[in-house]
Chain A
Amino acid sequence: MLDFAIQTKGLTRMFGDFTAVDHITFNVKQGEIFGFLGANGAGKTTAMKMLTGLLTPTSGEARVSGRDVYTEAESIKKNIGYMSQKFSLYDDLTAEENIRFYGGVYGIQPHELSQKAEELLERTGLIEERKKLVKDLPLGWKQKLAFSIAILHHPNIVFLDEPTGGVDPVTRRQFWEQIYEVSEQGITVFVTTHYMDEAEYCDRISIMVDGRMDALGTPAELKQEHSAETIEEVFIKLARSAKRGGG
């Protein structure tokens, strides 16, 4: 078992003259819930795209699940799950068809897949809705389903890009319960969020400002370091120094 699910050193991404991600160095321990915070435009999504193999870094090093992002991007893809804010489920397929499609894509064998699909539907309470098109499901259920599908192949790390955008506090709380369950199974959770209360749920968090990683530690450490009551205060103190506008 690896000690670190993600290791980066000086990871940088330029778009022309613009440095979207500026020499970030951090490690994510196997099995931890790692919160990845930052204002809009701070470079979170770019960093996440490099770690998931969607974008080649300009310079620096990064290993995800022990594999190099430059040379082993395809191998990384077998070992990670990914759920983006845009819900990557197919609206015109049913819940069950989506499960079968993504399960098949990750090479889960048919008999195993049937069993896993059944378990998943039961766990998420979607048994009754299995034949419903995803577009007819409420947002909270879609998110639950998307998350469950992202970990169906039991990846080493699951990347969640603003998974709880636009849902009510109760649903958000349920979603975090799901995150804890997944973490208990040994899956590392790498999550970006704009909700500061969610940041408190993480084992460790990092805060990106203008492409740099300006803070890294447990929520308690960060609060102490910046003599703040809440993570929100820490965030606002750091974000105020940002030169890049939001958006």
Chain B
Amino acid sequence: MRIIRVLLRKEFLQIFRNKSMLPILFVMPVIQLLVLSFAATYELKEVDMALIDADQSELSRALVSRFQASGYFVLELETFNPEEALEAMDEGQVSMIIQIPQGFETDFKEGRKAHLQLIIDAVDGSTAGLIQSYSTSILKDLNAEKLVEVNMRNAVSAPKLSSSINIIPQNWYNPNLDYITYMVPGILVVLVSMIGLFLSGMNIVREQEIGTIEQLNVTPIRKYQFMIGKLLPFWVIGMVDLLIGLALARYGFQIPFLGNLFTVLAVAGIFLITIQSLGLLISTVTHTQQQAMFIAWFLMVVFILLGGLFTPIESMPNWAQNLTLVNPIAYFIKIMRMVLLKGAGWIEIQNMVYVLLFMGSVLLLVSIKRYKKTAQ
């Protein structure tokens, strides 16, 4: 016990003495959380559009002002020349072209099908999809409203109310489809993972590089004592960072905390050990901080992209979904969202926690086994 205390004291002394380390540990995560949470959003804002209005009617003007009033679209270019509009799209000035043909209003008022064309720049598929659905809903609203007017005018008798099935979606758990609510729990996971994956492992490789590990290996320190000395400090720091992040999420971003905070912390504790063990494993197969850093980054990028942070795991191809089964970050992101946003309790998440526990135990055992005081 005393040896572990001696080791911990030394680690903390070194961490807190390192002037470049403190900002990395406590300031960078906060900045990342703030920047990423506002930046990583799927919300559509200020889509530039071009307008080719050949109709120049009351209805066409109403339609355009609808788009503008929605707050999502900005009229960047108005022209009668389709070539010019396409050119603007080629140059990336506009992401959508609305083309309203002559006779648009007349067709509408006389009960015929009124046509109009939307051309959407689909280089970025998900944005294109959003533009399309936002536009459709604007057009649908306009259609419904104007249809009532037209019907009233045409048939002086009672207006024919459309009897179509009207779907009104209810978005549970995140009623306003607020992306910050969705992103923040996931980003917190990424921040904690960075601390866990990089720092413990890097710390051991650093001792290898400067040669002090050899000195430690000729002392009677036991392997488990050494490992605890390396794991615990960054575990504590990771948990402190998570608490800061959670406080920011709750009071800064107003993220709902439906579930139990202690459940989150308990899972975070297990998750951190798992990801730290992976860092230790990396340190036992590398000789320089550069190598360790590269491997850690490689894994981190794969974990994040296959972690369901940006793209839902359910929409990945099967092979990729299978890969996420061994991705600790995917489990923790899912658990965080379930607990914080849906109020899930132990019953709902226990299977995922068991998987994390299993992964953590295996990784920890393998890395302790691989770390050798005596070379063979």
A residues at B contact (CB < 8 Å)? 49, 52-56, 73-74, 77-78, 80, 82, 84, 86-93, 97, 100-102, 104-107
Among B12-20, B64-72, B123-131, the one that faces the other chain is B12-20
Say yes or no: B6 contacts A104, CB within 8 Å. yes
Which has the most chain B C-beta neighbours within 10 Å: A73, A78, A87, A104? A104
Residue of B nearest to A80 (CB): B218
If A93-B10, A97-B13 touch, whether A88 touches B375 (CB-CB below 8 Å) is no
B369 to chain A, nearest CB (A): 16
Which has the most chain A C-beta neighbours within 10 Å: B5, B18, B374? B374
Task: Please provide the chain B residues from 76 to 104 with a CB less than 8 Å away from any CB of chain A in the complex.
Answer: none
Asked if B113 lies at the interface with its beta carbon under 8 angstroms from chain A, I say no
Q: List 28 A-B contacts (CB under 8 A).
A: A53-B373, A53-B374, A54-B218, A54-B373, A55-B374, A73-B373, A74-B220, A74-B373, A77-B219, A77-B220, A78-B220, A80-B218, A82-B218, A84-B215, A86-B214, A88-B212, A90-B14, A92-B17, A97-B13, A101-B6, A104-B2, A104-B3, A104-B5, A105-B3, A105-B6, A105-B219, A105-B220, A106-B219
Q: Which residues of B contact A55 (CB under 8 A)?
A: 374-375
Interface size class on chain B is 20 to 34
> Mask for B25-66, Cβ within 8 A of A = 1, else 0?
000000000000000000000000000000000000000000
If A86-B211, A92-B17, A93-B14 touch, whether A107 touches B374 (CB-CB below 8 Å) is no
Task: Please provide the chain B residues from 125 to 181 with a CB less than 8 Å away from any CB of chain A in the complex.
Answer: none
Say yes or no: B375 contacts A56, CB within 8 Å. yes
If A90-B212, A105-B3 touch, whether A97 touches B10 (CB-CB below 8 Å) is yes
Task: Please provide the chain B residues from 200 to 239 with a CB less than 8 Å away from any CB of chain A in the complex.
Answer: 210-212, 214-222
Measured in the bound complex, the distance between the Cα atoms of B222 and A91 in whole Å is: 23
Residue of B nearest to A102 (CB): B219
Measured in the bound complex, the distance between the Cα atoms of B214 and A52 in whole Å is: 10
Measured in the bound complex, the distance between the Cα atoms of B219 and A54 in whole Å is: 10
B101 to chain A, nearest CB (A): 74
A139 to chain B, nearest CB (A): 15
Q: Which residues of B contact A101 (CB under 8 A)?
A: 6, 9-10
Extra contacts, 15 of them, besides A56-B374, A102-B219, A105-B7 (Cβ < 8 A), are A53-B374, A56-B375, A74-B220, A74-B222, A77-B219, A78-B220, A84-B211, A88-B214, A88-B215, A90-B14, A90-B212, A93-B10, A105-B216, A105-B219, A105-B221
